[in-house]
Amino acid sequence: MQDSQIIRTEYSDVMKKSYIDYAMSVIIARALPDVRDGLKPVQRRTLYDMHELGIRYDKPYRKCARIVGDTMGKYHPHGDSSIYEALVVMAQEFKKGMILVDGHGNFGSIEGDGAAAMRYTEARLAKITQDAYLADLDKDIINFLPNFDETEKEPEVLPVRVPNLLVNGAEGIAVGMATSIPTHNLCEVIDAVKAYMKNDEISTKQLLKYIKGPDFPTGGIVVNKDDLLNIYETGTGKIKLRGKVDTEELKGGKKRLVVSEIPYTMIGAGIGKFLNDVCALVETKKTTDIVDISNMSSKEGIRIVIELKKGADAENLTNMLYKKTRLEDTFGVNMLAVANGRPETMGLKKIIEHHVDFQFELATRKYKTLLRKEQDKKEIQEGLIKACDVIDLIIEILRGSQSVKDAKACLTAGRTENIKFKSGISKKMAAMLRFTDRQAQAILDMRLYKLIGLEIEALMKEHEETLANISTYEDILNNYDSMADVIIADLDRIKKEYGRKRRTAVENAEEAVYEEKRIEEQEIVFLMDRFGYAKTVDAATYERNKEAAGAENKYILSCMNTGKLCVFTDTGKMHQIKVTDLPFGKFRDKGLPIDNVSNFDSTKEQIIYLCDAEQLRFAKLLFATRQGMLKKVEGTEFQVLKRTIAATKLSEDDAVIAVEIITDNLEVVLQSKGGYFLKFPAGEVPEKKKGAIGVRGMKFKKKDELMHVYLIGEGSETKAPYGDKEIDLGRLKAAKRDGTGTKPRG
């Protein structure tokens, strides 16, 4: 049996170390982009794999399943869905400032439709990706690392020539941190980079002369321009976004509102939510000026049309859409990225600084490689030129040699002992030859046609070009300004070829002010059936249909149309409903489920009591629970602004069974499930705060519990069912609270 070593350690230390390792793995290797190329590992690996597969912009499309499978097998062993989702997003024009993948097939829509399965869709690299993200990989400009199983090499970072982190933005949730970087205009970002390169003391405020603000692919309007300086200095903040709404005049004095651009945050399900929110504004009578809404969006762009009544105030309605829907939304900025192997929140200038440093590093490595190649060419060219001058001697050496080794030794070191010469002069001249190894090999490999006069001229011209290139590359490597000029020229070329106009407007807009039409206060009647569908009707309509209303509805309540209703549930909660949120109309209208206009959940709660909030102003409420706990609470404690509050505190496995308005001149009768009745004065129920459990109202036998609570006045004839007959509660003998009660005689 082999000896085993048991290491004893604190469990919390192991958990802490393991969790930190996991967290850092997610942060660095999954969720956050690198500041240098602005790409997450999955994006970088997918683009590099497409490059390796030869799926260039000028080559045919290939199935996405092929790309995903190859990427997963070679570089990213984290499941095909994450790779395909990353591939799809890089091909969606409405999500990226510059698409990096040219998709062919169904890659989803701005309205939230998902992409087709990867076995149906095809893709290839976009031209800018090939040109500005993957160029010069053969020039040793980046480091390559072993992949997960050390069978392949993958790039540590891609040699991206533009500040991709700003151009395409980023979104990612790591462990304990998240990144959210908006997209920007390529031309503006390039101008800002050039300005920084010319003056690295430039301030963020000066950079904002070039970068006006975010430029979202969906357009829209940034309305808090003055906040941008602080956002770009700190790397965090909130950008207020609005959709673009135009007013179109129609025949007959009518108007319609047309939404042609949406906030970036509305991409996907947000458009459907916006349409539903507008419909809800109409249904709840928040506005009566909207006649119809239709979504006419297509591949050409967004077009949501809202038809208005004649004489409607279009400007006021536009402000209502900003205030009441997601047509005005907030984009949270947190410019977090991996810099020097660590997550860091950076301002605009810091991101540009990292990008410029990376560009100089790329250029240095590129031109060192090019210089080395040109120097190698120069060495060979000089050898061939020298060889042309003594070509007769070289031919004599070759003819007199017994082997290639002897010939090469003569050319490089002047060794003539194994070579037959025609004359002593030739032997003396051969002894003086000192070609380098490369030059000697090039001479041995040279074909005879190279001795033609024109070929020799071409060699001389090529040598001049090589010398010029060496001079240029040395100047670039030794002179900051020369290297900066090369980088700037490359940026200008990219800007000219791929730049486009800004789509998002940036301005300081006034707060949207919506003046709600004042509702004329009137008394109405609330009706709710046993299925939870509620509505309100005017008092006259109710009076005409009083009998039918009583038969069809579980709750009937008079209230003011400007008030609120309070719903107390068995879970101890109180939900408030604004009466204006309920549909007001005809008696035969179906109404709305109260779940839709409040936080009440009919699948988890039951209504115990429903009343007008105004009733509670001068009242006290009795609370009774299944375990027999009682208390009185001042009604004013329930006059709150919140939609939902805890109305009472409950013990474990307890539930509210009754909530009633109580006065001290009443008597309380408790009826248990086991058939016991206890009657006592209401004054014996103590007054408590809503956060209290209360006091015991009745002692129960084993497995018994409270079933009903009755409040009776003096001399009243309130009857309660008991078995197959009824009990007159007024005739029960009065006792004290917290008794066991009595069982009526059969």
Active site residues: 120
Here the tokens at position 702 are: 């084993």
- Of the CA atoms within 13 Å of residue 548, those in its CB half-sphere come to 7
Phi, psi of 311 (to 5 degrees): 85, 5
CB 76 within 8 A of CB 83: yes
CA angle 85, 86, 88 (to 5 degrees): 65
Here the tokens at position 131 are: 């040109």
The SS3 assignment for 253 reads helix
DSSP assignment of 547-599, as one string? Answer: HHHHHH-SEEEEEETTSEEEEEETTSEEEEEEGGGS-B--TT---EEGGGTSS
The SS3 assignment for 359 reads helix
Phi, psi of 368 (to 5 degrees): -65, -40
At 496, the amino acid letter reads K
Burial class (CB within 10 angstroms; exposed 0-12, middle 13-18, buried 19+) of 2: exposed
DSSP assignment of 123-135, as one string? Answer: EEE-HHHHHHTST
Integer-rounded Cα Rg, in Å, for the chain is 41
Here the tokens at position 36 are: 């240098």
Among left, alpha and beta (phi > 0; psi -120 to 50; other), residue 136 is left
The SS3 assignment for 317 reads helix
Q: What share of the chain is helix, strand, coil (3-state, %, to 5)?
A: 40, 25, 40
